[in-house]
Structure 1
Amino acid sequence: MSDATPHPLRIPAFRAYFVSRFLTTIAVSAQAIIIGWQVYGIARQTMDIKESAFLLGMIGLAQFVPLFLLTPIVGLVADSYDRRWIVRGTTALLTLNALMLGALTYLGALTMPFLFFAAVFVGIARAFSGPAFSALAPNLVPREVLPTAIAVSSIAWQTGMIAGPSVGGVLYAIHPDFAYGSISAMFAIALGILMLIRKVPQPPVQKDRRPLHRIADGFSYVRNNRLVLAAITLDLCVVLLAGSTALLPVYARDILHVGATGFGLLAAGMGIGAAAGSLWFTFRPMKTNVGVKMLVAVAIFAFAIITFGVSTWFPLSLFALIVAGAADMVSVYVRQSLIQLHTPDEMRGRVGAISALTISASNELGEAETGVMASLLGPAGAVVFGGCAAILVTITWTWLFPELRLARTFDPKDRSDGKPKEEGSAS
């Protein structure tokens, strides 16, 4: 890359954005895994394994419901107001939430109702911050380096999402107070760094369109752009079915019998894989056959989850999670790049909100689904069932959305038939 087109991380505003998003995402994910561990610990005092696993799933549902209800609003907000202040405000609220959780843990006053309240609070904050964070990145760099900026931004987010549980597990294994103190510090540092980003260009508000019409425009764009629709829904269905993070406390405590220390290592598994994948893409960005590579990565993810589900040997379980994390990193790298590069700036907030909804549905709602299935089939049965269903979904999407399979590069103008793609049309 020449001096005329510097790497995005050489641009101070983008560098501040990258670090703050990485810290915020790690802190949110780390806190989520700790909340799950605390919920399971309290539940096991009076409930059996299946009932406790069900409550773990309900924690995910508590985070998903606010995002589901707020999605039509938050995308419009991200396209209408200063995106910097949206992420600053939500980061400040997340800092206060982590401090409250830490104080109650220290005092020994943490209760099940407050853990659910905290989960709902996090869901509300994430609903607003996700679309704003995603839409802010393209405003910080020149257009010619936008593809690289999107890839780097995706790495920050996805590495944080997958590595966060590992950080939370390790910190909690050291000491609960140290864990919440560290999470609060990460939020506070991220907030301070966000304050360094100066005013950036904001897309003009469509004053000739009513708010409800503008909200509908976002859903219409996703529905009509089949490549974006395929990328979003594939991840939604696969992680919804095959996500297993919610059951890590069950595996650590009652299946693998490795306790809090082993729980920290299991939680680190997907983070290790994701970090390896992100490091690879930093030096070797993906350029060709991106659709096929995404489909293969999703299939590998599903097989790794099945392996984790049936394993009762700790080293194999850890290895399966590492492979799953690396495969998931490939999938998200492709999905986020396709979504951002195929969406005009004035629509990124609304499309980002829809993407965030599907991500939350696949993660938090997936935890609820896993909890319900675990209460019916047992933990191992739920994980194996989800992995097998994810493989069937991947095969179905390969046939249902040939646009994804035929996507050669991230460039919206590059189609397998050699014809330029029109903005917003079916790919």
Structure 2
Amino acid sequence: MTALTVVVFLVAYLLIATEWTHKLLAALGGAAVLLAVGVTDSEHAFYSHETGIDWDVIFLLLGMMIIVGILRRTGVFEYVAIWAAKRAKGSPLRVMILLTLMTALASAFLDNVTTVLLIAPVTLLVCDRLGISPVPFLIAEVMASNIGGTATLIGDPPNIIIASRSGLTFNDFLIHLTPLVVLELIVFVLVLPRLFKGAFAVDEDRVADVLRLNEREAIQDTRLLIKCGAVLLLVFTGFIGHTVLHIEPAVVALLGAGLLVLISKVPTRHYMSSVEWQTLLFFAGLFIMVGALVRTGVIADLAQAVGEVTNGRPLLATMLILVVSAVLSGVVDNIPYVATMSPVVLELTKTVTDPAHGHALWWALAAGADFGGNATAIGASANVVVIGIALRAGHPISFWEFTRKGVVMTAITIAVAAPYLWLRYFVLS
């Protein structure tokens, strides 16, 4: 059964990575095969915390998707983007910096896929008015979303998986990863002019057109915006204080979504259309496959092998996880990678006596997977979404055009993360 489980998982993983078939079909197909042959069963697949679907992850994403679906109707994201373009006085470089920083900030509190879905259409509008190619802006924004999403538990799906496996809280992510993300964003802004050299030439007449845009016209429903703001404040308060309140983030998100649905009176079809059902089902299939690996002992064996390679040296293990995570997350989507690797890291933390070193292993996994998602066009879900938006708008982004920039940015972010982890958890701890 162990060999069959590995084969099924690797085939599904290959299909996901190469996109020979839809990733949802690959994940659910792999899960179905494992259920059909008896490697796992309904008890382990649906009810076990160790080997089954992580419902905390599923319902946290569902709640936030509903909230964002309602928030989308206010026009607040368009307002902010136009406001930023005007404050930048039409300078393409300043527009790029402002939009990427806003994307990074939004991605820390909203799923980065949702963030780029909202920001990308506005970017296309602003670039069209300026008469410049939106491709560099879209690539920069998706990179910023992957960097900014690293800062919080809810910012990037891999972080949600890590939190669920490790028991780390929303506050833990804020305290340990946000300082690193701030540092990474400073470096990112400094690198932008060189990374996208030649992308900032603009016609002055076009600049005047942008400055004539009225951002206030973007707000479609002021009363709904106030209601959304109040609910989001409550939700984020719940996220931050959930250890005191003893309410899990998934429950907070669902309560917030339910409250907003109740007070907004937005028709069901409008916010439910924003729910990424394919993503949620993809997660479900993935969790079942990874759970089968745990149940058959594959994960424990892999953890033991990694432990033998590092010979009980937590610093070496931390750096190995950081680099390997960055490389592999650039080749395949970082969601299935983290779902596979998190049980391995959990086993490794059990062999570490210093809690700071145990934390370093988890932060190395998060940083490596999240930053590594920038390396290629298929490294993160947000990358795929933006490339699709650009193609539909008539501005195709090739795999290699993205990768040439992404590999450079990933190498830089990992080069910054490595000394941060070493200093904070092995020198100053």
TM-score, length-normalised on structure 1? 0.31
